[in-house]
Amino acid sequence: MGCCSTFKSFTFTILITILLWTSTTDHHTCNARKSWHTRTISTSLSKKKSTNHHHQHQHHHNGGKSKSKASSHKAPPSPKVKAPPAPPKVKTPLAPPIGKAPAAPPENDNGGGPVTDAAATYNVLDFGAKGDGSSDDTKAFEGAWAAACKVTGSKIIVPSPYKFLLGPITFSGPYCQHNIIFQIDGTIIAPSSFKPYGSGLFQWILFTKLVGLTIQGGGTVDGSGSIWWKDSRLNDPLDDELKLIIPINGTTKQTNNSSITNSLGGNMPSIKPTAIRFYGSFDVTVTGITIQNSPQCHLKFDNCVGVSVYNFHVSSPADSPNTDGIHLQNSKDVLIHTTDLSCGDDCVSIQTGCSNVYIHNVNCGPGHGISIGSLGKDNTKACVSNITVRDVMMHNTMNGVRIKTWQGGSGSVQNVQFSNIQVSEVQLPIVIDQFYCDKSTCKNQSSAVALSGINYERIRGTYTVKPVHFACSDSMPCTDVHLNGINLKPIQERYHLYDAFCWKTFGQLLSPAVPPVECLQVGKPSSSHVQADHDTC
């Protein structure tokens, strides 16, 4: 019994030892597993609430916002660093760098040219102009143009109240950018001597081979023309319609042919300059300014397409020779309106090569009216078509609406509309003259510029010499001449009065005319009067 008891005690002791050993081993194993699991969680979920100190730090760093969603991302600072800089880097190239356009602008192709610099203004005073009316400012204007030429939509400023003396000058393309504005608010004056013009120039101020140029402002361009008018030569052309105007007392006004002293710069050059001339240009505009006292034509467009003239003024004495207001030659798509023209020759002169010309709301006088021609001089070919002149006031002019051609010419004038013309004390309101001659004598020739489709509608007012004068070619009569609403009343002044006159003029009187125009022949001329194919336009 003692043995048995001893054995049991020993067995119990061994069991207790085994249990204790097993317990210790499990404890270490659990601790090892727990340690590995804890490291794994703390690495992947380091920002969860299980680590209170780290959570409190993140809570403070992010302004107290919950990180339950953000904790699945890597590091919150990364998006903040990358996202903000991106938008400005994308938008910056859209704006052109300031100041780079004038230095080296790319060529303008009307589709992808340089960006217009609205601030690109060039005041001629900043280029050395004095503006005192006596210093030569030509170089300053050339400098301003050289700078403006490089920038699309740039503007040259000619400020008021300065007066700028300018010699003969050219503002030229074709390498200038488009849509340049010439803002004339001051006064530009021409030299008061002939010397700067040498042996002669066709113009004082020339704009050539430009696109989209605009001359605007309220300033004045003065051509100092009086020295040129006084030195008129014996062979200066005279308006041939003077032969129709015979004073009652039998005397005619003589042209002053006195010469100018050398103090004005010597004898007059053989060519008198036009004040402003556009040559070979597209989409040009003249508005607001006044051109006065030009030596010859005031404003000329030669070989231009797309011309707009409005709110424009011409002012020269009635006796200033050959001072046309606006002269058009080889130009198309022309619009002239809301304009006052006072000069010594045609208010508007339309020469060969012109088509699609629209003139309306113009005041003309003094002057020689609105004329197509003269055409066909020296046996040349002339082509004019699609001309409309309407809503015009004419006061104290030599002619109203006129077409004039030379004998020996060829070509044609077609589709002309004169409508709603109000005349007041006009010597010859309606004129076609195919025997025009601005010399003392001209050779008789059979060929002529063909005239057809000429319409006169609502020509009304007063005349002082002859209401209608149609003198057409024997070999090439005028055809399709239509008159409607003609009401002209005579005023006896200092000239002989005459009845309406027609020669070789065929057409139709659509309503009774006052006074009667019974000389107009109805229908068509005989078939023998046919223009040769090589003469057609």
C-alpha dihedral over 459, 460, 465, 466, to 10 degrees? 40
| CA 102 to the chain's CA centroid | 22
Structural domain 119-244+270-345, CATH architecture: 3 Solenoid (2.160)
**Catalytic positions, written as ranges:** 368
Q: What's the confidence (pLDDT) of residue 412?
A: 97
Neighbours of 104 (CB within 10 A): 8
Rounded CA-CA distance 219/454 in Å is 38
What are 380-406's pLDDT values in tens digits? 999 999 999 999 999 999 999 999 999
Q: Which of 490, 465, 408, 409 is nearest to 243 (CA)?
A: 465
Q: What share of the chain is helix, strand, coil (3-state, %, to 5)?
A: 20, 35, 45
Other Cβ atoms within 10 Å of 486 Cβ, number: 24
**With b meaning 16 or more CB within 10 Å and e meaning fewer, what string describes 110-120?**
eeeebebbeeb
Instruction: Return the pLDDT at 407.
Output: 95
Residue indicated by tokens 């710069």: 265
Q: How far apart are CA 13 and CA 492, in angstroms?
A: 162
Which residues of the chain carry a pLDDT beneath 70? 1-119, 231-236, 251-266, 527-534
Output the pLDDT for position 492. Answer: 87
Q: What is the CATH number assigned to the segment(s) 346-536?
A: 2.160.20.10
**What predicted TM-score, i.e. pTM, was given to this entire model?**
0.77
Q: What is the pLDDT of residue 109?
A: 39
Give me the residue spans of the domains in the chain.
Answer: 119-244+270-345, 346-536
